Amino acid sequence: MRVFKIWKYVLPSMFACAFVALSEVGYYYLILPVLLAANYLNTAWGEFSNREILDELRMFYGCPATAMAKRVSGILLCAMIVWGISFVDRTNPPAGQLLFFSFCTGCLTGCFIVTLAHDLLHSHKKADILISGMLLTAAGIPHLAADHVAGHHRDVGLSKDPNISRINQSFYSYFVRLACSRLKESFLTQYGLPKYLSRKILFLNLKMLTILAGVWITIALCSRHPQKTLGFFLFQSFIAYLLYELINYIQHYGLFRKDEKEEITLALSWNCYYKYTNYILHLLPLHSIHHLPHHKRKIDVGQLKDGPRMPYLYFVMVLMALVP
């Protein structure tokens, strides 16, 4: 039974392998309808009950086999990006095909790589944090690690948290404002933290930026078609980042607390309780629970689904945000 549950946590890696196989025979674009059709599993598997959520959280965060599965999945997903660079260099696709292949890869990166990086980022184990950094670098957005922990988790629900979208604010204005804010906080102001923490965060972000620049240079120097391989990496990174901010937009839309004195509760995030969506997004849709301080996570089982519920599935909410 435990093995049956664990295999669902590597569904993202299975999709990545399917994408590689389809691409090698010239049908990379089929991954999008495959992902869309797979949403039928939301109906087939249904939603978590309150008791199932509790069991799932224990399995996801407390089982050594699950921890190993997530690490292996992280390595495989990083390998997908390396393969993608090699694939572009080997096949030298025309501009239109390159653009669409990069888009498909970016969708996988945004859905699977970034969400797994987000999960591993909160681990206290060095191996998990290392793999999280690798995943965020593969996604081209390594500075989000410090930004997420030092900024968003501390200020969630406050008006000063740029991750919280305002009522009737379009995703596009939200995206521009938030992208600029992240860069400013990551490399200039460091969230108004004490000096020793600010220096630590700045040093970490500069180190990660240096590593990312090294990746860009390596791609450019080691490729026969550097413009296309680098273009692939940058465009899939942009799509991944776009999806990351779309998820932030729909998860925290219009949900505020008055000030720092008001407690962080289940009411500050929109949630999706469908099993399939949670498996492929590494339980990110159980977002209210994710934001609870650790000392508050021992809540009554009957309250686990008390947070706001998304009216539609994730992919529908994303489409609605893009075309309001």
Which among 221, 197, 218 is positioned nearest to 146, based on CA atoms?
197
Helix 314-322 and helix 226-251: axis angle, to 10°?
100
- Is 57 within 8 Å of 299 (Cβ atoms)? no
What is the band of 294 on the pLDDT scale with cuts at 50, 70, 90?
low
Q: Is 60 exceeded by the pLDDT of residue 296? A: no
Q: What confidence tens digit (pLDDT) does each residue in 224-259 have?
A: 999 999 999 999 999 999 999 999 999 999 999 888
Q: Is 90 exceeded by the pLDDT of residue 293? A: no
Q: Is 90 exceeded by the pLDDT of residue 291? A: no
Instruction: 52-57: list long-range contacts, CB under 8 Å, 24+ apart.
Output: 52/275, 53/273, 53/286, 53/289, 53/304, 53/305, 54/301, 54/304, 56/5, 56/278, 56/283, 57/283, 57/286, 57/289
Q: Is 60 exceeded by the pLDDT of residue 310? A: yes
Which among 272, 260, 88, 297 is positioned nearest to 157, based on CA atoms?
260
Which among 209, 234, 78 is positioned nearest to 147, based on CA atoms?
209
Q: What confidence tens digit (pLDDT) does each residue in 105-129 have?
A: 999 999 999 999 999 998 889 999 9
What is the band of 299 on the pLDDT scale with cuts at 50, 70, 90?
low
What is the band of 304 on the pLDDT scale with cuts at 50, 70, 90?
confident
What is the band of 301 on the pLDDT scale with cuts at 50, 70, 90?
low
What is the band of 95 on the pLDDT scale with cuts at 50, 70, 90?
very high
Instruction: Determine what percent of the chain is predicted with pLDDT higher than 70.
Output: 96
What is the band of 10 on the pLDDT scale with cuts at 50, 70, 90?
very high
